[in-house]
């Protein structure tokens, strides 16, 4: 059976977390790893929307910013629900 989009998202997110943990475990500061993952995500979001040689206009930046904000809020909601179960 094919993975649905949420399963793919969870699987790929887990891979990025594993990569970040590998960097941290090799001695990189957690905050720097987080900043590097965010920077890479910004570059990839730009690539996904504008191509390899393109850049985002103000509207594109706003769209990506809103997407990041929504994702961060969903992460916080999930973390709170997990904490409430403990």
Residue 46 CA, distance from chain mean position: 13
Q: pTM (2 decimals)? A: 0.82
Say how far apart CA 49 and CA 59 lie, in whole Å. 11
pLDDT in tens, 15-65: 999 999 999 999 999 999 999 999 999 999 999 999 999 999 999 999 999
pLDDT value of position 86: 85
- The pair phi, psi for residue 67, each rounded to 5°, is -65, -45
């Amino acid at each position: 059976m094919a993975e649905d989009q949420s399963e793919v998202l969870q699987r790929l997110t887990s891979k990025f977390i594993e990569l970040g943990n590998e960097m941290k475990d090799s001695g990189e500061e957690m905050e720097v790893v987080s900043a590097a993952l965010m920077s890479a995500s910004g570059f990839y979001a730009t690539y996904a929307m504008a191509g390899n040689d393109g850049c985002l206009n103000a509207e594109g930046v706003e769209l990506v910013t809103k997407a990041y904000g929504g994702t961060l809020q969903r992460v916080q909601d999930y973390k709170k629900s997990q904490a409430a179960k403990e």
